[in-house]
């Protein structure tokens, strides 16, 4: 049920949150160090989580889209590639933000968060798809690919 619901409502549950989240992420990384939000968790964990969440939305977007077959066939590879390139560009961008610096370890945390998110999201989607399919076998006519 959840798999089909995500697929049916992807504009509101995946695409819109991706756009909003990416804008928030860019805004937060554009703030000068004096205005940056400081949390109790470490900087690298923040990067890991931020790019992990970005990658969940990116993966879902590519997985559920039907316009580009190559993206649909390899959503994990393209998600990691896009998130990693964006992370690199964001680190370079931070050189020009007062009080911010580009750090290779930040980029590695971004990359690691993306890889972890892709693996977890892929597993969860396959699990949801499989359980929905199994339920539909016991109740024919309910599963839609």
117 within some domain: yes
Cβ proximity of 142 and 135 under 8 Å = yes
Exposure string over 33-50, b if 16+ CB within 10 A, otherwise e: eeeeeeeeeeebebbbbb
| pLDDT higher than 70, residue 102 | yes
Per-residue pLDDT of 11-43, as tens digits, reads: 999 999 999 999 999 999 999 988 987 777 889
* d(C-alpha 57, C-alpha 117), whole Å: 10
Q: How many domains does the chain have?
A: 1
pLDDT in tens, 60-78: 999 999 999 999 999 999 9
The closest of 53, 72, 62 to 117, measured between CA atoms, is 53
Instruction: Give residue 113's domain range.
Output: 2-29+43-138
pLDDT at 141: 59
Domain-embedded: residue 96? yes
| Residue 144: CB atoms within 10 Å | 10
Residue 102 lies in a domain: yes
Its pTM stands at: 0.90
């Amino acid at each position: 049920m959840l798999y089909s619901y995500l697929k049916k409502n992807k504009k509101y549950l995946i695409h819109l949150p991706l756009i909003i989240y990416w804008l928030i992420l860019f805004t937060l990384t554009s703030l000068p160090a004096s205005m940056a939000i400081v949390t109790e968790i470490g900087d690298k964990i923040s990067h890991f989580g931020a790019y992990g969440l970005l990658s969940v939305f990116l993966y879902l977007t590519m997985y559920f889209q039907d316009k580009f077959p190559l993206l649909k066939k390899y959503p994990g590879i393209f998600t990691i590639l896009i998130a990693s390139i964006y992370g690199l560009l964001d680190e370079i961008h931070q050189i020009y933000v007062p009080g911010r610096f580009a750090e290779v370890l930040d980029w590695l945390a971004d990359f690691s968060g993306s890889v972890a998110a892709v693996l977890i999201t892929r597993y969860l989607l396959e699990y949801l798809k499989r359980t929905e399919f199994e339920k539909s076998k016991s109740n024919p006519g309910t599963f839609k690919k």
